[in-house]
Each structure stands twice: as C-alpha cells, then as structure tokens.
Amino acid sequence: MKKFLVGMTLAIAALSMVGESIARPMGGGRSIGRQSSSVSRMQAPAPAPRPTAAPQAGRPAAPVAGAPVKQPSRFGGLIGGALLGLGIGALLSHFGMGAALANMLGTILPVMLLGLAAFFLYRWFRNRNAPTNAFQGFNQNPLPAGGAPEIGSGINQAKQPAAYEPVQQPASSAAAPAPHTPWGVPADFDNESFLRTAKTSFIRMQAAWDKGDVADLSQFTSPEVFAELKMQIQERGAQPEFTDVVSIDAQLLGIETVNNEYLASVQFNGMIKPAPDALAEPFAEVWNMTKPTNGASGWVLAGIQQLPQ
C-alpha cells in the first residue's frame, strides 16, 4: 500500500507541475516604481515572449502565432504522461513486478527522449514557418554568441543596436506591425560592463530580498522602490524566501533621459528556483535603472516593469 501511495503521489505531483507557472522574483512579479513608456510601447500582437516550455536560458521560446496557449500543455502532457508511466511502474512493482519496473524504466526513458526530440523538431519547424513580428524578431535575435557577450567574440559596440532590429521578412512584413525601433543606446555606451553589473545587482538583490536584508536593498534602490520592497518584506514577516537564480541573461533595451535622470531599461530573462527542491521556472521582467545626469550617484533600481502582455 505504501508503494502504491508513493506511486500515486509521484503521478499527482508530476501532473500538478504541468500547469505553466511563472516564477516570482523580487517584488512579487508585479510592476512597481518607475515605468518606461518606451517599454510599454513595445506592443506585441502575439502574447509577450515569456519563456514557456523550453528550459533554454537566454533563448526564450518565441510563442507560435496561432496556438500559443496550447503549446505548453503539449509539452507538459508528454512529461506528465511519462511520469504517470513511472507511477504505474511503481504500482506494478507493488504487485511483485520489480523486474518489470526496471524493464519499463529502460523503455520509458528512451521513448521520452525521442518524444522530446520530436517535439522540439516540430516546434522548430513551426517557428520557421510562422510569421515573424517585430517583437518576436527582437527576441529571436539576442546578442551574437548566444546572448552572453564573450571576450574576443568580436561584438562591435557600434553594431550592437542592430542586433535588436527585427528580421525583415518580405513575405510576412505586410502582416507585421511597424517594427519596434530601439529608443537608443548611445554608440559609445559600455553595454557589456553595464549588463554585467546589472546581472550582479540582480543576483545580489535577489539574495538580499530572500534574507529580508533591507539595508542592502536600500543601497541599490530608489526611495519609492525601496519603500515598496520594504513593505512587501514586512508583510511576509520573518519568513525568509528562497530564490536560486539558475540562469540569467540581460539585454539593454534602451536608455532615455527623463527629468535630469538617465533611465535605462534592462530586460532580464532566465530561470529561477523558488524552493530548494523545486524545478527551475522561467522569469522575464524589465528593470528600470536610473542615474542622475550630473553623475552625482550611481545606477539604482527605480522600477520593475512587467512586459506588455
């Protein structure tokens, strides 16, 4: 009976994981503080390219126009089915079929891998044929070298903004809306080290958020964001949170000047684990960082902005 219960629990746990969930990083996954109108203007006719099923960091799966909602369930169903299979295996072993379980495992795993391969091939094929809109083009073209600027990879600062231009596809451009033009990263801006520092701050502030270390948070946040975060920390009480950043990728969307301040919008994509034994979940949000134009102080987090849906 015990094994049966374990099997059932496994199956149920597997099924409950099928539903798509978006991880909640610092700030509870809400928009707070300063918002950039340029980010809001990045209107996408298709749903925002939140990473869905693909566990690939830095290359979020672009949703396929047409049936974007169905996509995760197909993937989830596959895994769910296979895990359910495992549950049944455990059930069988309860009835004295231990060897059969071993056999089944040996069969299920390759079948699961084949299924996954077929699924990715299928999606790749559909993606290739799907019309590319401006926002997808933006996301399908991360920095060269897989999004992580590497030394010696020959990334040319002057060419950087070009990476954000949408792919021009003559066949589908009629259907696509006006392409989103980057609202400007100055050509002489040190993109690479800015993004490195941004990633560092993200990881550090995530750790400070988990511990409820308001002193550390105050160093890197504007007063309004700090107030909001502090309130959320007080609301959750003494309970420390857990977030483990598994992968992180950052893109500088643009810099604008608003009221004697530079406002830089950085989009973070990646995977985080909300609990030590949980599966990593995708997240995507924009951090708006400000710095006084007179250079009196450094960059601080002035707002967290959720991507337009």
Nearer to another protein, 135 or 202 (CB): 202
Least CB distance to another protein at residue 59 (A): 12
Nearer to another protein, 21 or 153 (CB): 153
* Residues 68, 64: Cα–Cα separation, whole Å: 5
Nearer to another protein, 36 or 269 (CB): 269
Nearer to another protein, 58 or 87 (CB): 58
Q: Which residues bind another protein (CB under 8 A)?
A: 57-58, 148-153, 196, 199-200, 203-204, 207, 244-249, 270, 272
Least CB distance to another protein at residue 61 (A): 18
Question: Of 257, 255, 283, whose CA–CA distance to 268 is shortest?
Answer: 283
Nearer to another protein, 172 or 247 (CB): 247
Contact predicate 14/79, CB 8 Å: yes
* Residues 296, 4: Cα–Cα separation, whole Å: 65
Least CB distance to another protein at residue 128 (A): 25
* Residues 284, 165: Cα–Cα separation, whole Å: 20
* Residues 291, 222: Cα–Cα separation, whole Å: 10
* Residues 138, 288: Cα–Cα separation, whole Å: 19
Least CB distance to another protein at residue 147 (A): 8
Nearer to another protein, 23 or 263 (CB): 23
Contact predicate 178/168, CB 8 Å: no
* Residues 149, 193: Cα–Cα separation, whole Å: 10
Least CB distance to another protein at residue 285 (A): 15
Nearer to another protein, 148 or 289 (CB): 148
